[in-house]
């Protein structure tokens, strides 16, 4: 098959998005016949009809839908080229775009990224979003790495690779006003005071629920949070005790002045770096994954 003509593909993409040849011609400021000819030429080259009449507009055939999905990725990436070129030309050092899963504890993020922060002249771009949306951006090469509390699911249509970056057991933290005389020893004390927990959005929540059941503790949960930083803020204010990775102990007890009630070594939170290629080529990503302690 001869090389694909991307001008033909672009006209088809616009026609599909606009819902008709005439509207595409208007958007492109071209003659209707010109756009129609280009789309027909693409169909001839591919050997399949891509559009079919639907009233006064057109709709995609099955083959057209497949072509449109790929064209959408191609031209969305193309729209990013001017900004990417400008950023690269203006940057003095390396650029690292990292996706942060919204379920990942924020203090852990700093720990995981510390080897990158030490890179001279690094321009670090962090984007927080839903896990699935970040994986889609990674597959489209909008991100260099995704940090998450779970590995990427097995999906033959999504070629991404999970790299263990470490794990940390949980400790329980509370403001001084909740640590009263007569409080039972840990972990029984957790049944006596209000608790703040991550929502089921976090991979560690199911492990916590199982741990409570095995300890025979019926927790008094007064708040559930998707955002770990918000959870810690409400915990510091006195709303309740809460769990966090032991990696965060220095920050929580030092800067925030919280007390460690006890530790749950049986409850472990795992952290992953997810890349778009099995063999990582970005030098800073290599450094991050190489410094990890699975």
Domain 167-269: give its CATH code.
3.40.190.10
- Residue 152, CB half-sphere, CA atoms under 13 Å: how many? 26
CA distance 108 to 292: 12
- The rounded distance, in Å, linking the Cα atoms of 92 and 259 is 43
Within this chain, domains 93-165+272-291 and 167-269 share the same CATH topology: yes
Number of Cβ within 10 Å of residue 8's Cβ equals 19
The answer for residues whose C-beta is within 8 angstroms of residue 112's C-beta and 6 or more apart is: 147, 165, 166, 271, 273, 288, 292
Domain 93-165+272-291, architecture per CATH? 3-Layer(aba) Sandwich (3.40)
Domain boundaries, the chain: 6-88, 93-165+272-291, 167-269
Classify 67 in phi/psi space as left (phi over 0), alpha (psi -120 to 50) or beta: alpha
pLDDT of residue 118: 78
Looking at residue 294, its pLDDT comes to 56
Best CA proximity match to 148, nearest among 93, 103, 179: 103
- For position 90, what pLDDT does the model report? 58
Q: Are 191 and 218 in contact (CB under 8 A)?
A: yes
pTM: 0.66
Per DSSP, helices labelled H in the chain are 6-18, 21-28, 32-46, 62-90, 106-117, 131-139, 205-215, 228-236, 249-250, 283-291
Give me the pLDDT at residue 13, please.
92
Rounded mean pLDDT for each run of 10 residues along the chain, 294 residues in total: 81 90 89 91 91 86 91 85 70 80 88 85 89 90 93 81 93 92 92 95 94 96 92 93 93 91 95 83 84 66
Strand-pair category, 51-54 with 57-60:
antiparallel
pLDDT tens-digit readout, 13-61 = 999 989 889 998 898 888 999 999 999 999 998 999 999 988 878 889 9
Coil, strand or helix: which one is 174?
strand
What is the predicted pLDDT for the residue at 278? 66
What pLDDT was estimated at residue 55?
Answer: 80
Q: Domain 6-88: which topology?
A: Arc Repressor Mutant, subunit A (1.10.10)
Report how far apart the first and last C-alpha atoms of the chain are (Å, whole number): 47
Tell me, what's the pLDDT at 265?
95
Q: What whole-number distance in Å separates Cα of residue 281 and Cα of residue 207?
A: 35
CA distance 219 to 86: 53
CA-based Rg of the chain, rounded to a whole angstrom? 26
**Contact criterion met (CB below 8 Å) for 80 and 125:** no
């Amino acid at each position: 098959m001869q090389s694909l003509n991307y001008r033909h593909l672009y006209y088809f993409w616009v026609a599909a998005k606009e819902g008709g040849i005439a509207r595409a011609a208007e958007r492109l400021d071209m003659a209707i016949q010109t756009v129609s000819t280009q789309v027909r030429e693409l169909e001839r080259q591919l050997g399949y009809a891509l559009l079919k009449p639907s009233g006064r507009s057109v709709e995609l055939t099955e083959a057209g839908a497949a072509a449109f999905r790929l064209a959408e990725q191609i031209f969305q990436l193309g729209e990013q080229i001017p900004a990417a070129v400008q950023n690269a030309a203006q940057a003095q050092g390396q650029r690292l775009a990292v996706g942060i899963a919204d379920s990942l504890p924020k203090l852990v993020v700093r720990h995981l990224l510390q080897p990158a922060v030490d890179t001279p002249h690094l321009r670090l771009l962090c984007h927080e979003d839903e896990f699935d949306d970040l994986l889609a951006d990674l597959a489209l090469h909008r991100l260099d790495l995704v940090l998450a509390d779970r590995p990427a699911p097995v999906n033959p249509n999504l070629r991404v690779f999970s790299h263990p970056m470490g794990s940390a057991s949980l400790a329980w933290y509370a403001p001084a006003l909740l640590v009263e005389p007569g409080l039972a020893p840990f972990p029984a004390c957790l049944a006596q005071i209000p608790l703040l927990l991550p929502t089921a959005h976090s991979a560690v929540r199911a492990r916590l629920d199982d741990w409570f059941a095995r300890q025979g503790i019926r927790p008094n949960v007064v708040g559930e949070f998707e955002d770990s930083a918000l959870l810690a803020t409400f915990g510091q204010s006195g709303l309740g005790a809460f769990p966090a990775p032991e990696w965060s102990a220095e920050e929580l007890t030092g800067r925030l002045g919280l007390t460690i009630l006890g530790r749950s070594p049986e409850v472990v939170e795992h952290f992953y770096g997810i890349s778009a290629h099995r063999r990582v080529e970005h030098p800073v990503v290599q450094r991050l994954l190489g410094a990890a302690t699975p």
